[in-house]
Amino acid sequence: MPDTALPQPTFFTRPDGLRLAYRQRAGLGPTLLFLPGYMSDMEGSKAVALDRWAADAGRAMLRLDYAGNGASEGHFADGKLASWRDDVLLLLDALTTGPVVLVGSSMGGWLALLVALARPDRVVAIIGIAAAPDFTEWGFTDADKAILATEGRIEEPTPYGDQPYVTTLAFWESGQALRVLDHAIAIDCPVRLLQGQEDRDVPWETALRVAERLRSADVQTLLIKDGDHRLSRDADIALLISTVTTVLDSF
């Protein structure tokens, strides 16, 4: 549901002329930067709830839509993991100063790791919500990969919206090129991983793999036994806000 408390999104023009939608809230730093999941946007329940908390707490926050998602211009099917990472980096560099705390949901958790690797001097903490790094590897069967190779895309129904879940060969290849779980992840900042054990999209063991691969010694994995992939129930949102509060209070 759109956040009716705010005006229409602001737009930032990429060098190629495409406009990216974002909402920015001034306040105390570090700046919270919310990264939505695949086929999601900055008006999702977790992003909006966190933004409302930031308003009440006087905290700086930035949320955005990747190209082809939400209110941003472009076509979803043209997006790649690398291009969406670059959208985040572009707005992080142009719109924020000082330390940043990344909050990434599902694919946004993968992007958070990639952004932290690219900006180690700016990212001071990461909070992953059902983070899904490398899902192009573990989330596709051999049959799926064969369809991608021959047809160039897969369309599947999704319980999260009316539009089919589309994966293109270009996105899959971009994801495969940016896998992080095959080796140590050279991130040293604090990381908090919230993961539901009833998640049907991201195996909960993935959070443990991420924790193991991270170089940081300050990593905590919080398993929610009855939590699903979205982790958007009132109790889940409360846990997210509590986690964000604790992380921010440490700076």
Q: Is 229 in the active site?
A: yes
Instruction: Let me know how long the chain is.
Output: 251
Phi, psi dihedral angles at 133 (to 5 degrees): -65, 145
Catalytic-labelled residue, pool 41, 65, 134, 199: 199
Of 214, 180, 211, the closest CA to residue 193 belongs to 211
Spacing of C-alpha 213 from chain mean position: 18
DSSP, res 248: H
Tokens of 205: 């063991």
Catalytic-labelled residue, pool 40, 72, 105, 106: 106
CB 12 within 8 A of CB 22: yes
Residue 66 amino acid letter: Y
Catalytic-labelled residue, pool 41, 87, 201, 229: 229
SS (H, E, C) 134-184: CHHHHCCCHHHHHHHHHHCEEEECCCCCCCCEEEEHHHHHHHHHCCCCCCC
Q: Is 106 in the active site?
A: yes
Q: Is 105 in the active site?
A: no
CA dihedral angle for residue 159, residue 234, residue 4, residue 245, rounded to 10 degrees: -120
Instruction: Write out the H or E segment, with its range, that includes residue 192.
Output: strand 191-196
| Catalytic residue set | 106, 199, 229
